[in-house]
Structure 1
Amino acid sequence: MNPRIEENRSHPRLADLLGAYHLVNQEEKGTAVATVAELPAVYRAEAEDPAAAFAADTVLLATPDGAEEPAGCVVLKAPRDGRSPEIKRLWVTPGARRKGLAKALMAEALRRAAGSGAPSVRLTVWSWREEPVALYRALGFTAVASWDDRPDLLCLERPLDAVERLSPDGVRAHAAEGLAELLVDAVDGGASVGFLAPLAIAEAAAWWSRAADEAAEGVRDVLVAHGPDGRPSGVVTLVRTTTANGRHRGEIARLLVHRSARGRGLGRRLLAAAEAHAAATGLSLLVLDTQTDSPAERLYRAAGWTAAGTVPDFAADPTGVLRPTTLYYKRLG
């Protein structure tokens, strides 16, 4: 079972968790103190009155499955002075470790940061903390120029919903779960993407396996955005025309954003990434089709696509009802 994550800067257990965090932190820095009362003032204030110390921030707590009290916490600091939000005070009590609490706390903190519309999130970690460093790197954090020059302190940053091109093996690795789940979610949500509802996860995974083969052949490029938990939160594919007289042209297909990741511009970023990739690889014209009057039409029009015409009863929606489709094109460069 997954740990329970809650937001509560006033939880009575939070003071103990933060106090333990700071006492261990002071010991590791070689400036150990015996009690919270002996901590430096800024740290003592956090442990004594977390609600006041983090009044403008998001405080998350994790309770292990079957337990009554939280055993871990993390703070997502609100953006200040134009800076990205910052993750602080990740702590899990020793007896509750190896149960996924730290990963669950980080996933929720990253989800909250992405939901705020921030382009990235940052954190600092002491270089000697091998396990936290490994966790952060596994979640996509990389070292950046330091904004805190204390010795042995690493400054890390992670783009939120960053878009990357998957290799064929990468497509296969995500086909059975993340990518298949995106396709099922789209069909369940009413998107007309070539399938009728209900779409079985095995059928969706098989489609992505074929897409991986096309990627290996150089016919289809797959660009994906990963969510806070590392699973795909959005995807778009670019299909290249293989005829001799159409190699300047490509088609945008399967632009999907999971319903839990909508509302923060991810579809727009995926589309822009696909267009940039198409232009960088020599294509000068893109085409696509979408159900007429669908929400996707607003995205394409706003991104500078031109409607070429509408075909009535072109394709059935997931419920089997025939709907009109509008064809779009966009010149690149």
Structure 2
Amino acid sequence: MTVRIEENRSHPHLPHLLGAYHLVNQAEKGVTVTTVAELPAVYRGEAEDPAAAFAADTVLLVTAPGDDAPSGCVVLKAPRDGRPPEIKRLWVAPEARRKGHAKALMAEALRRAAASGAPAVRLTVWGWREEPLALYRSLGFATVESWDERPDLVCLEKPLPAPDAIERLTPDAVRTHAPAGLAALLVDAVDGGASVGFLAPLETTDAASWWSGVAEEAAAGVRDVWAAHAPDGSLTGVVTLVRTGTANGRHRGEIARLLVHSSARGGGLGRRLLAAAEAHAAATGLRLLVLDTRTDSPAERLYRGAGWTAAGTIPDFAADPAGTLRPTTLYYKHVG
């Protein structure tokens, strides 16, 4: 089982983690400090009230399966004065080390930095901290000119790839992409076990035919389509918004076929596609959005994290690609 990463600068266990970090950090610098109350004011403030100290930043915590409390944390500082975001306060409790927790925290921090559109992310580490330094270098960080002149402090930076561009597709663009890019996204989703209305194996021609029908819906104003393009022009994700045709339901729409290619997952693309559809829905007068997704699927974490509310679960609602009936959870979100 994988660890759980959550964002929560107000977690009741966070002060303990930050306090432990700062006490060890002071000891490594040769400063005798035994309690949080003895820390320098800026560090004491972080440990005593992290919600206030990091009000503008992203605080992530990692919890191992079966544990009640998180074992580590990291802070992704918001960009300031035109500088890249900075990773700070990476800490994993000694008893939880060498289990991949630090790497998981770093991966999520980097994912979020990339999803924000930042061109790079940076951090500092004391030169004597060989293990963290090795981790950072393994993740692609390189030494750069120092922006902090404290002795023995190493400044590192990692360039981030430009986020895939998201655009609303015209009906003609849907037709153009249907035989290849859009069909490939649908086949990839079904091959990966996603319950999106098809059984495996899904032939590319059948997937392309479905998207051709979507093009006609787009031309009729029934469905809007957004696609994400990688720098090389290939499609990496798609989402559609279906408008309700009944007179008493014109205030609502449905999010359908949110697909991110398996090679492009983990970078926040799904959230960006969802946000694009939500913003357009609100801007065009829709006030309520609904969707359904397989219960306990990874997509549920995305929707919950984006502010969607679970309305209920229906058992045996739809078959997965292998033909096994699975439960589905219905979600809704007010956008207008």
The TM tier, using the shorter chain, reads: 0.5 to 0.7
Alignment partner of 1:303 is 2:301: no
CA distance in 2, matches of 1:160, 1:120: 9
Aligned partner of 1:172: which letter? R
CA distance in 1, matches of 2:116, 2:278: 23
1:119 — aligned with what?
A: 117
Alignment root-mean-square deviation, CA: 2.4
Aligned residues: 191
2:108 — aligned with what?
A: none
Mapping 1:1-333, distance limit 5 Å:
82=83, 117=115, 119=117, 160-333=163-336
CA distance in 2, matches of 1:223, 1:116: 20
CA distance in 2, matches of 1:114, 1:312: 34
CA distance in 2, matches of 1:211, 1:277: 18
SS in 1 for 2:245: coil
1:61 — aligned with what?
A: none
Aligned partner of 2:191: which letter? D
CA distance in 2, matches of 1:286, 1:159: 30
CA distance in 2, matches of 1:252, 1:246: 15
SS in 2 for 1:304: coil
CA distance in 1, matches of 2:308, 2:112: 27
Deviations 1:50-104 (A, max 9, x none): xxxxxxxxxxxxxxxxxxxxxxxxxxxxxxx7359xxxxxxxxxxxxxxxxxxxx
TM-score, L = length of structure 1:
0.54
Deviations 1:179-204 (A, max 9, x none): 00000000000000000000000000
TM-score, L = length of structure 2:
0.54
Residue pair 2:293, 2:300 contacting (<8 A) in 1 also = yes
Aligned partner of 1:311: which letter? I
CA distance in 1, matches of 2:221, 2:330: 24
Aligned partner of 1:119: which letter? G
Structure 1 segments, 4+ long, off by >4 Å, are 113-118
Structure 2: gaps of 5 or more residues: 1-81, 86-110, 121-160
Identity of aligned residues (%): 74
Residue pair 1:187, 1:198 contacting (<8 A) in 2 also = yes
Deviations 1:150-195 (A, max 9, x none): xxxxxxxx95212110000010110000000000000000000000
SS in 2 for 1:324: strand
Q: Does the C-alpha gap of structure 1 residues 233 and 120 become closer, same or farther in structure 2, counting only changes over 3 Å?
A: farther
Aligned partner of 1:307: which letter? A
SS in 1 for 2:196: coil
SS in 2 for 1:186: helix
SS in 2 for 1:251: strand
